[in-house]
Amino acid sequence: MDRIGQEDLVVLLGTPTPESSKLYAMTVTEGDPSWAGALAGEALGLPVYHIIEPQIRDQIDSEVYKAEVGVAEMVLDSEEISATVSGVRANNTGN
């Protein structure tokens, strides 16, 4: 981020569970919630989405999406993941 700047930067997640999605979404917004890594206490305030969220999915060619994400999406708890990541965005005061 230091190199390319924050403008036009969005973080896309491909994390498998609501818990891991929350961890990484929080890491790039308000800072690493586990305080274990380099981003502890670093509120980057970046916009963050999971790839299965409609805002992202709808922008991807449906054939490509089906081939690359389709199978994974079927086994993921999409509703809970979307709710979790959008919840983190709503709290993203750094943005």
Partner 1 sequence: MYAREEAAGKMFRIVHYVNQFFGGLGGEDKAGTTAQVREGPVGPGRLLQQALGDRGEVVATVICGDDYVAENETEAGHAIDEALETFKPDLVVAGPAFDAGRYGLGCALMCRTAQARGIPAVTGMYPDNAAVITHRRELLAVPTGADATEMKAAVFAMAELGLKLAGGEELGPAAEEGYLPRGVRRLVLKDRVGYERALDMLLARVEGRRFASEVQVQQYEKVPPAPTIDDLSRAKIAIVVSTGIVPRGNPDSMVSAFSLESYRYSIEGVDALEVDDWESVHGGFNTRILNAQNPNYALPLPSLRRLEADGQIGRIYPYFFSTVGNGTAVGPAREIGRRIAEELTDAKVDGALEVAG
User: Cα 91 vs. chain centroid, distance in angstroms?
Assistant: 13
Beta carbon of residue 34, minimum distance to partner 1 (angstroms, whole number): 3
Residues facing 13 on adjacent strands: 50
Q: In the complex, which residues of this chain contact partner 1 (CB under 8 A)?
A: 17, 19, 22-23, 26, 33-37, 40-41, 75
58: nearest Cα among 82, 35, 75, 36: 82
Beta carbon of residue 17, minimum distance to partner 1 (angstroms, whole number): 8
| Nearer CB in complex with partner 1: 30/53 | 30
Looking at residue 25, the DSSP 8-state letter turns out to be H
| Nearer CB in complex with partner 1: 22/50 | 22
